[in-house]
Amino acid sequence: MFTTFMDDSGTAPENKVAIAAGIVFPVQQLRRFQSQWDNFRYKFGFSDFHAAECLARNRKSEFANWSDDKVRRAFARVRAMTFKYSVKGFCIAIFKKDYDEVLTADLRAAVGNSHYTWAVSSVIGLAHDWAAERNVPMEYVFDTATKDVRREIDASMEYAETNSPGKFVGHYFFRNRKEVPALQATDLFAWTCFQAACKVRIGKTPHAIAHESATAYHSAQGGEWWVVQSLNREGIEKWVAENKNSERTQQIIAFKEKLKAARQP
């Protein structure tokens, strides 16, 4: 059994890039990961790891008085535990402007109204394909989501179940990241991917520690640990042209409309 832990970065309205990321852990490794994480948490003196707050040294956070060296060591420790106990990382980057301007209303009805929903659906697809290729069972754990995003994820998973019975419904869960170390580790991965995507898409120079983190993920397992995908505008336009009137798109839209009607009081 494997579990993909999902997190996001950049989904706040002011950000130009949205990220969905997932890290695949063998279930039998999670107890060992939890034990090492507890030691790490005790040694560094925090209760809930959050990459952005840690690097920013948010004055209201547990990281307010951390030095650059301590932040570097903490990030490196999270990555080391991740590489030791996980088997794969997946990331999808969405440039919001392209999504907003290119995707038509009917396609949004199919793939989701939020940038994150489309991205997370794509990560789920990558994780599912990875598991199918190896003929192993997969579960999915999401960070707690807003009501609207959760409803879209529910709909996406229920539709995916129609194509792969027994693989999605009953095999995904929402958990509070503060209580799940694997979600906190995924937070660093998602945040790092967000920093890297901002560099590529909008030319924003990342913090040196973010660059170090991206280099480490990129080189892990000889470059085989992570898969990162991002469609440019031309890629999205091509995807729209290929899928706008496809039978599958119409099936998804009809399925979600039927599901929405069934949920109404």
- Residue 150: CB atoms within 10 Å: 14
Q: What is the pLDDT of residue 50?
A: 95
Q: What is the pLDDT of residue 115?
A: 76
- Under the banding of pLDDT at 50, 70 and 90, the label for residue 145 is confident
Q: How many residues does the chain have?
A: 265
* Least confident piece of the model among 56-65, 88-97, 191-200, 231-240: 231-240
**Residue predicted with more confidence, 252 or 126:** 126
Q: Residues 21, 191: contact at Cβ < 8 Å?
A: no
Work out the mean pLDDT of the chain and round it to a whole number: 88
What the block records as the tokens of 161 is 């179940």
- The structural domain count of the chain equals 1
The residue among 33, 32, 25, 29 whose CA lies nearest residue 5 is: 25
What are 230's strand-pairing partners?
Answer: 93
Range of the domain at 95: 2-263
Residue 196 has pLDDT above 70, yes or no: yes
- Residue 221: CB atoms within 10 Å: 11
Q: 204: domain CATH number? A: 3.30.420.10
Residue 239 has pLDDT above 80, yes or no: no
